[in-house]
Structure 1
Amino acid sequence: MAAIYLETPIKADIHKVFDLARDIDLHQQSTGKTNEKAIAGRTSGLIEENETVTWRARHLGVYQTLTTKIISMEKPVQFTDIMLKGAFKMMKHQHIFKKKNDITLMIDIFEFESPLGLIGRLFNRIFLKNYMKNFLLERNKLIKNLAENH
Structure 2
Amino acid sequence: MIRLQETTVIDAPIQRCFDLARSVEVHLIANVHSGEQALAVGEITSGLVGLGQKVTWRAKHFGIWHNLTSETTALEPPSHFQVTMIQGIFRSMQADHLFRALLSGATEMKDIFAIAAPLPLLGPLAEVLFLRRYMLALVRERNAVIKEIAESSEWQHYLSYPEALREDLSQ
Q: Residue 142 of structure 1 corresponds to which residue in structure 2? A: 145
C-alpha displacement of 1:117: 1.9
Q: Deviations over 1:35-73 (max 9, x none)?
A: 010002210000000000000000100000000000110
Distance 1:64 1:116 in 2: 15
Moved over 2 A (4+): none
The RMSD of aligned alpha carbons is 0.7
Distance 1:3 1:41 in 2: 28
1:129 to 129, 132, 148: 132
Q: Residue 64 of structure 1 corresponds to which residue in structure 2? A: 66
* Partner AA of 2:140 in structure 1: L
Structure 2 gaps of 5+ residues are 154-171
Q: How does 1:1-150 map to 2 (within 5 A)?
A: 1-39=1-39, 40-101=42-103, 102-150=105-153
Distance 2:18 2:96 in 1: 12
Distance 1:121 1:55 in 2: 24
C-alpha displacement of 1:115: 2.0
TM-score (ref. length: structure 2):
0.86
Percent identity, aligned pairs only, is: 37
Higher strand share: 1
Structure 1 gaps of 5+ residues are none
Q: Which has the larger radius of gyration?
A: 2
Q: Which SS does the other structure have where 2:57 is aligned?
A: strand
C-alpha displacement of 1:118: 3.1
TM-score (ref. length: structure 1):
0.98
